[in-house]
Structure 1
Amino acid sequence: MGDHGRRWLFADQLGDHFLDSAEQPVLLVEARSVLRRRRFHRQKAHLVLSALRHRAAELGERATFLRTGTYGEALDRVGGPLTVCHPTSYAADAFVRRRDEVTVLPARGFTSTAGEFKAWADGRGDGRRLLMEDFYRDARRRLDVLMEGDGPAGGRWNFDADNRLPPPSDGMKVLGPWRAEEDEIDEEVRHDLDRWEREGEVAFVGRDGPRTFPATRAEALRALRHFVAHRLPVFGPYQDAILSADPVMAHSMLSPAVNLGLLDPMECVRAAEDAYRCGRAPLGSVEGYVRQLIGWRDYIWHLYWHFGEGYRELNRLSARTPLPGWFADLDADAVEARCLSWALRQVRDTGFTHHIVRLMVLGNYALQRGFDPARLTDWFHRSFVDGYDWVMVPNVVGMSQHADGGMLATKPYAAGGAYINRMSDFCGGCRYRPTRRTGEDACPFTSGYWWFVARNEERLAGNPRTARSVHGMRRLADVDEVCAQEAERGDAPP
């Protein structure tokens, strides 16, 4: 059947850019074993199944849609030959390569190919680290994105310094994000998930709720247009801020659609760039959004494969603490620390928070307490609607928990209550005080920060970016009291 034979589309490869022609026959598989293996967020399971079933309905007779226990059962039933684009996890990639009837094609759905990443990485043979900023600039040149001749538009490669403002005191003044409307397919999905859970076949974390993210290509395009027209212009300056009354602020909310394959990341990039060229969005906001797509997203994808499967097991800070039950189960009501309770509530109720909440609230707390990075990675994978193995392994092991010892990020992303106080509006209404290290009203992020520094003193002292924190810790007269207090807290919710 050649290149235009039957294409197997995984549930995160649902867009037309994973096909070779408008007539190509398609195999779609809904394998119940995926939901049995992990305790996924209920809304994540709903979104994936809804997207898969919507795609099958759209394709009609072009699609063979099988609902089976496992992928292997489906392949045995349909026979071959089949082609599939490079899967997005080591486990799925190993599975398809064991099947003689399946031919694996290069990856799609990313802006840089494996060959382009390798050429860039090999070109840095002088021993320098594989920095995201360098990869991003190379991609900008190669893809001709936000360029003016040989240089960056506006004379600057990034606007990070302008995009770190604390939240506005009077709110964002931005139109809310696009929201989905459920249909009969969603009703069927909800009925099935309820039944499977009732019968004990599957179990979920988090709460059910209305589907809010796109499950079809048409919905994803509407969400993209809405973001570019109404939210992108104010996205940039406050992208690192958190507002208690506005969980999504001006963030795009498009990562679930992109990671399902409903949007090609380059069409998002070009739509944002066009808004800048036409004067409908400022360069700082557009550059910040473009950086997330052709910079960070592709960089994470390629590092997932570049570092190898063993990367997920790295634990160079010797963090061994199991995830407490209240954290693992998203028990926001058990937590008094306002920012952490709010973050867990967002995940519990929606399966989503934006990136700063993930890194500087959830990840920061886990880093300070030495949560096991492998278990934490699995928790992020299961609990977020846009979470996949390739997304979470580098982001959690490398960026958030520094368990790789600095292969990805130059320093641990640990911060005390002062950072959260500066970049959010939580501390004013919290029973804890961000300036306090000890006592009943000590901020768990402030005391936790110094406990983290004390536990990792030797390693942090040798890093120029963290040596100052070690010097500061050594000057604290109450550091022993801080450490004793945090050790006594154990896995109790703050």
Structure 2
Amino acid sequence: MAARRSAPGGGPGPAAGDPALADFPAQAPDTRRWCFADQLGPHFLDAPGQPVLLVESRGVFRRRRFHRQKAHLLLSALRHRAAELGEQALFLQTDSYAEALDQVTEPLSVCAPTTWPARDFVLRRRGVTVLEARGFVTRQADFRRWAEGRTRQRLLMDDFYRAARRAHDVLMDGAEPLGGTWNLDHDNREPPPADGRVPAPPPEWPVEDEIDEQVRADLDAWEAAGDVAFVGEDGPRLFPVTHAETVHRLEDFLAHRLRAFGPHEDAMLAGDPWLAHSMLSASLNLGLVDPADVVARAEQAHRASVAEGDPLPLNSVEGFTRQVMGWRDWIWHLYWHLGREYRHGNALEAYEEVPGWMGELEAEAVDANCLSSVLSDVRERGWVHHIPRLMVLGNYALQRGIRPLAITDWFHRLFVDGYDWVMVANVVGMSQHADGGVLATKPYAAGGAYIDRMSDYCGGCRYDPKKRVGEDACPFTAGYWAFLERNRERLAGNQRMRQPLNGLGRLRDLELVVEQEQLRGTQAP
């Protein structure tokens, strides 16, 4: 696999008007490399012995109230990297990045950071050479060439993914996709197995060490002193914090879990939050492993299994590959391409704040079993997979008219893999339809029937997913129809919403549904 080949089209990219979008140089091997806490893998260095600057800023945790396990993961990963590098790294523990940089007199280089504010900060620093971004399969300049001339509504993930597959020669058979089909997502939408068990062992969990112990002690002390505050429960570390741990989890996934991943990747089980997911998103977003290497290893595993006569299902391999080099890269590039103001979109005019019970992860306050179970999972682990995020948490916020930027911040703070670039497009665009249809052609709103079909949450719930009025009316079913009625005019021009909107006219109890849901508001359902 040629992971760094230019995208089709060639030639220089368009001039970037914003300095943060410049075509930065690729390398600066003779400088000390400043690595942010999400740039911790070996692929962020130009040479094995290159000197490194690592900065731990306590002030970051004062600005936002993060999940406790997210804070632990970030600090543990940063300190493990410092320990690995030893004398090769200058490790500064300060109150701010500016305070740390004031202690450094030598020239620095840094790979372009992953957020607008961080890029602005490094571009203002004298003596810091900003290099092109790493940690993604497709380069920013190549994405700009691909996007040139396309309207916002034509920046389709599937088109980008196909171009990237061709450019990097991933899962290809000459000029055609392996197996003859680009996208096998239609094979990956099965409900949970009837017996409630996915045929895959659980992930192998990392073993904590003395660094984790010290991180936990420091977080306890900071919290006790009133210096910082967290939300969510502490617990054993569930995610890798080193390159070696990440590679081990990847190899375990490819050997024991990838085979079962595809068909049930959209399913939800209360007793098995992991199903057959890779559990690599946090590691990828910490920069612990190069996603090009992840994709290459997945393809190698598939081709080796074919040669051995026991092929890994192509829908599982393709589905995983699409998540890593398709969706993840696309979301990253759209963060920059759509600009600084994209985060403020509010096409559906949603102005409610995140309710207190949701902000505090008070799962016991919620009777709706799906929402209560997912909130409990977030509280205990800082993670659930993409469907509970989209179709339970995001669906609830969409139906209840929660302010898009507020729910974006909630996801950013409370998920171990949440970063600004991850959540802005995912939440503002995909989940909340606040961009008016740039990322998704219709809102991801659904009633209780979807949750009932794709999960085991509805069994034993006090609410009936078939009912929209009454004490046992499902808040997602009723909320769906109230959402449509509230946004009837805003969505009238959306062709994909014509049938659902027409359905409003057939509801004899629509006024009762709307009145009931207005009274419910954002009270814990």
Q: Check whether TM > 0.5.
A: yes
1:292 to 323, 345, 354: 323
Counterparts of 1:23-422 in structure 2, within 5 Å, are 23-122=49-148, 124=150, 129-170=154-195, 171-279=197-305, 280-422=311-453
Cα deviation, 1:455-487, whole Å, max 9, x if unaligned, reads: 000122210111111100121011111011011
Secondary structure of 2:102's aligned partner: helix
Structure 2 counterpart of 1:18: 44
What's the counterpart of residue 454 of structure 1?
Answer: 485
Query: How many Å separate the matches in 2 of 1:70 and 1:80?
Result: 19
Q: Is 2:351–2:403's contact at 8 Å kept on the other side of the alignment? A: yes
CA displacement 1:173-210 (0-9 Å, x = unmatched):
21111211100000000000000000000000101000
Q: Which amino acid aligns with 1:427?
A: C
The equivalent of 1:467 in structure 2 is 498
- Aligned to 1:453, what secondary structure does the other structure show? helix
1:117 corresponds to which letter in structure 2?
A: F
Give the paired residue count: 493
Looking at structure 2, the residues matched to 272 and 242 of structure 1 have their Cα atoms a distance apart, in angstroms, of 24
8 Å CA contact 1:257–1:263 kept in 2: the answer is yes
Answer whether contact 1:89 1:390 (CA < 8 A) is retained.
Answer: yes
Amino acid aligned to 1:236: G
- Equivalent residue of 1:457, what SS? coil
- Of 426, 429, 438, 2:457 maps to 426
**Letter in structure 2 aligned against 1:79:** T
Cα offsets for 1:418-445 (capped at 9, x unmatched):
0001100111211100000000000000
Question: CA offsets per residue over residues 306-326 of structure 1, 9 Å max, x none?
Answer: 011111111110000011000
Q: CA deviation at 1:274?
A: 1.2
Counterpart residue identity of residue 519, structure 2 = E
One-letter identity of the residue aligned with 2:38: D
Q: Distance in 2 between matches of 1:240 and 1:369?
A: 23
Q: Aligned pair in 2 of structure 1 residues 149, 321: CA closer, same or farther (>3 Å)?
A: same
**Over residues 261-299 of structure 1, what are the superposed CA-to-partner deviations in whole Å (9 max), with x where a residue is unaligned?**
111111111111112112252111000000001110000
* CA–CA separation in structure 1 for the residues paired with 2:61 and 2:83: 22
Pick closer, same or farther for the CA change 1:128–1:48 going to 2, 3 Å.
closer
How big is each residue's C-alpha offset from its partner over 1:387-434, in whole Å with a ceiling of 9 and x where there is no partner? 000000000000000000011111100000000011001112111000
- The superposition leaves residues 9-53 of structure 1 with CA deviations (integer Å, 9 ceiling, x where unpaired) of 000000010000011000000001100100000000000000000
**Contact 1:368 1:451 (C-alpha < 8 Å) held by counterparts:** yes
| Deviation sequence 1:82-107 (CA, Å, 0-9, x none) | 10001011111111111012111000
Q: Which runs of 5+ in 2 are unaligned?
A: 1-26, 306-310
Amino acid corresponding to residue 363 of structure 2 in structure 1: A
Deviation at 1:128, TM superposition (A): 5.7
Q: Unpaired segments of 5 or more residues in structure 1?
A: none
What is the identity, as a one-letter code, of the residue corresponding to 1:275? A
Contact 2:28-2:46 within 8 A present in 1 as well? no
Matched-pair contact (CA < 8 Å) for 2:153–2:438: no
Deviations 1:90-142 (A, max 9, x none): 111111111012111000000001111011111537x8611000000000000
- Give the conservation status (yes or no) of the 8 Å contact 1:178–1:227: no
Using the TM superposition, give the Cα deviation of residue 240 of structure 1 relative to its aligned residue in structure 2, in angstroms. 0.6
Task: Output the CA distance in 1 between the equivalents of 2:497 and 2:272.
Answer: 33
Runs of at least 4 residues off by over 3 Å? none
> How far did 1:354 drift?
0.1
- Helix, strand or coil: the match of 2:496? coil
Moved more, 313-322 or 116-125: 116-125
Q: Deviation of residue 81 (structure 1)?
A: 1.0
Say what the alpha-carbon RMSD is for the aligned residues.
Answer: 1.1
Q: Determine helix, strand or coil for the equivalent of 2:222.
A: helix
Q: CA deviation at 1:373?
A: 0.5
d(CA) in 1 for partners of 2:524, 2:119: 39
1:196-242 residue CA offsets vs partner (Å, 9 max, x unmatched): 00000000010100001001111111101000000001100000110
Give the C-alpha shift of residue 492 in structure 1.
1.2
* Aligned mates of 1:265, 1:220 — CA distance in 2: 11
Would you say the 8 A contact 1:415–1:445 is kept in 2? yes
Whole-angstrom CA distance in 2 between matches of 1:2 and 1:488: 60
TM-score by length of 2: 0.93
User: Could you tell me whether the CA contact under 8 Å between 2:92 and 2:100 is conserved in 1?
Assistant: yes
Amino acid at match of 1:136: Y
